[in-house]
Structure 1
Amino acid sequence: SYNLFLLFKFDSLDSSEYRQQIKTFRLKYVFLAAKIIKTARYVIMKLSENYPYKGVYEKCLV
Protein backbone atom coordinates (compact mmCIF):
# COMPACT_ATOMS: atom_id res chain seq x y z
CA SER A 1 0.00 0.00 0.00
CA TYR A 2 2.93 2.32 0.62
CA ASN A 3 4.10 1.88 -2.97
CA LEU A 4 0.61 2.78 -4.25
CA PHE A 5 0.71 5.87 -2.05
CA LEU A 6 4.05 6.91 -3.57
CA LEU A 7 2.83 6.25 -7.10
CA PHE A 8 -0.28 8.36 -6.61
CA LYS A 9 1.68 11.08 -4.84
CA PHE A 10 4.35 11.51 -7.49
CA ASP A 11 2.01 10.98 -10.43
CA SER A 12 -0.83 13.32 -9.58
CA LEU A 13 0.16 15.80 -6.87
CA ASP A 14 1.90 19.14 -7.28
CA SER A 15 5.51 19.44 -6.21
CA SER A 16 4.46 21.52 -3.19
CA GLU A 17 2.57 18.50 -1.77
CA TYR A 18 5.29 15.86 -2.22
CA ARG A 19 6.37 16.09 1.40
CA GLN A 20 3.03 15.29 3.01
CA GLN A 21 2.80 12.28 5.27
CA ILE A 22 0.48 9.30 4.77
CA LYS A 23 -1.86 10.51 7.53
CA THR A 24 -2.32 13.90 5.84
CA PHE A 25 -2.80 12.21 2.49
CA ARG A 26 -5.56 9.97 3.87
CA LEU A 27 -7.35 12.90 5.50
CA LYS A 28 -7.35 14.89 2.26
CA TYR A 29 -7.93 12.25 -0.40
CA VAL A 30 -9.27 9.01 1.11
CA PHE A 31 -11.67 10.02 3.89
CA LEU A 32 -14.19 12.02 1.90
CA ALA A 33 -17.90 12.15 1.38
CA ALA A 34 -18.89 10.90 -2.06
CA LYS A 35 -21.86 9.24 -3.64
CA ILE A 36 -21.24 5.93 -5.41
CA ILE A 37 -23.69 5.20 -8.23
CA LYS A 38 -23.81 1.79 -9.89
CA THR A 39 -25.46 1.28 -13.24
CA ALA A 40 -25.46 -1.74 -15.51
CA ARG A 41 -22.21 -0.65 -17.16
CA TYR A 42 -20.53 1.88 -14.89
CA VAL A 43 -19.57 2.67 -11.33
CA ILE A 44 -19.54 6.44 -10.80
CA MET A 45 -18.12 8.36 -7.85
CA LYS A 46 -19.69 11.80 -7.46
CA LEU A 47 -17.80 14.34 -5.39
CA SER A 48 -19.19 17.54 -3.95
CA GLU A 49 -18.70 20.69 -6.02
CA ASN A 50 -17.17 22.31 -2.92
CA TYR A 51 -14.54 19.60 -2.36
CA PRO A 52 -11.22 21.51 -2.49
CA TYR A 53 -9.13 18.64 -3.92
CA LYS A 54 -11.49 17.61 -6.72
CA GLY A 55 -8.95 18.67 -9.34
CA VAL A 56 -6.48 16.05 -8.09
CA TYR A 57 -9.01 13.27 -8.74
CA GLU A 58 -9.78 14.63 -12.21
CA LYS A 59 -6.06 14.89 -13.01
CA CYS A 60 -5.50 11.31 -11.87
CA LEU A 61 -8.27 9.94 -14.11
CA VAL A 62 -6.97 11.62 -17.28
Structure 2
Amino acid sequence: MSKYTALWEYIQRNGSPSMKLSFDEIHDIAGIEMDHSFLRYKKELTQYGYQVGKISLKERTVIFNRID
Protein backbone atom coordinates (compact mmCIF):
# COMPACT_ATOMS: atom_id res chain seq x y z
CA MET A 1 0.00 0.00 0.00
CA SER A 2 1.38 3.36 -1.08
CA LYS A 3 1.37 6.47 1.07
CA TYR A 4 -0.83 8.02 -1.64
CA THR A 5 -3.38 5.18 -1.87
CA ALA A 6 -6.08 7.26 -0.12
CA LEU A 7 -5.61 10.00 -2.74
CA TRP A 8 -5.68 7.57 -5.67
CA GLU A 9 -8.88 5.96 -4.35
CA TYR A 10 -10.47 9.39 -3.82
CA ILE A 11 -9.73 10.40 -7.42
CA GLN A 12 -11.07 7.10 -8.75
CA ARG A 13 -14.28 7.35 -6.69
CA ASN A 14 -14.85 10.89 -7.94
CA GLY A 15 -14.92 9.62 -11.53
CA SER A 16 -14.50 13.03 -13.18
CA PRO A 17 -12.73 13.20 -16.54
CA SER A 18 -10.43 15.84 -15.05
CA MET A 19 -9.87 17.06 -11.51
CA LYS A 20 -7.78 19.90 -10.08
CA LEU A 21 -6.71 19.65 -6.45
CA SER A 22 -4.63 22.06 -4.39
CA PHE A 23 -1.68 20.83 -2.35
CA ASP A 24 -3.78 21.56 0.77
CA GLU A 25 -6.66 19.41 -0.52
CA ILE A 26 -4.21 16.61 -1.29
CA HIS A 27 -2.90 16.88 2.27
CA ASP A 28 -6.43 16.66 3.66
CA ILE A 29 -7.27 13.60 1.52
CA ALA A 30 -3.98 11.70 1.82
CA GLY A 31 -3.16 12.80 5.37
CA ILE A 32 0.40 13.71 4.37
CA GLU A 33 2.23 16.67 2.91
CA MET A 34 2.95 16.38 -0.78
CA ASP A 35 6.71 16.22 -1.33
CA HIS A 36 9.23 15.36 -4.06
CA SER A 37 8.42 11.64 -3.68
CA PHE A 38 5.06 12.37 -5.32
CA LEU A 39 6.89 12.31 -8.66
CA ARG A 40 7.94 8.72 -8.01
CA TYR A 41 4.54 7.59 -6.72
CA LYS A 42 2.40 9.28 -9.40
CA LYS A 43 2.89 6.34 -11.80
CA GLU A 44 0.75 4.22 -9.43
CA LEU A 45 -2.26 6.33 -10.37
CA THR A 46 -2.52 4.64 -13.78
CA GLN A 47 -3.66 1.49 -11.95
CA TYR A 48 -6.71 3.52 -10.90
CA GLY A 49 -7.47 4.75 -14.44
CA TYR A 50 -5.96 8.23 -14.07
CA GLN A 51 -2.73 10.07 -14.70
CA VAL A 52 -1.16 13.28 -13.46
CA GLY A 53 -1.68 15.96 -16.07
CA LYS A 54 0.10 19.02 -14.68
CA ILE A 55 1.76 19.99 -11.43
CA SER A 56 1.88 23.74 -10.82
CA LEU A 57 4.29 24.76 -8.09
CA LYS A 58 3.28 28.41 -8.55
CA GLU A 59 -0.45 27.73 -8.02
CA ARG A 60 0.25 24.76 -5.70
CA THR A 61 -2.16 22.55 -7.66
CA VAL A 62 -2.19 19.22 -9.45
CA ILE A 63 -4.45 18.29 -12.37
CA PHE A 64 -5.47 14.65 -12.68
CA ASN A 65 -6.93 13.26 -15.93
CA ARG A 66 -8.84 10.06 -16.53
CA ILE A 67 -7.17 7.71 -19.00
CA ASP A 68 -9.51 6.89 -21.91
- TM-score for both structures, normalised by structure 2: 0.24
Bigger share in helix: 1
Higher Cα Rg, which structure? 1
Bigger share in strand: 2
- TM-score for both structures, normalised by structure 1: 0.25
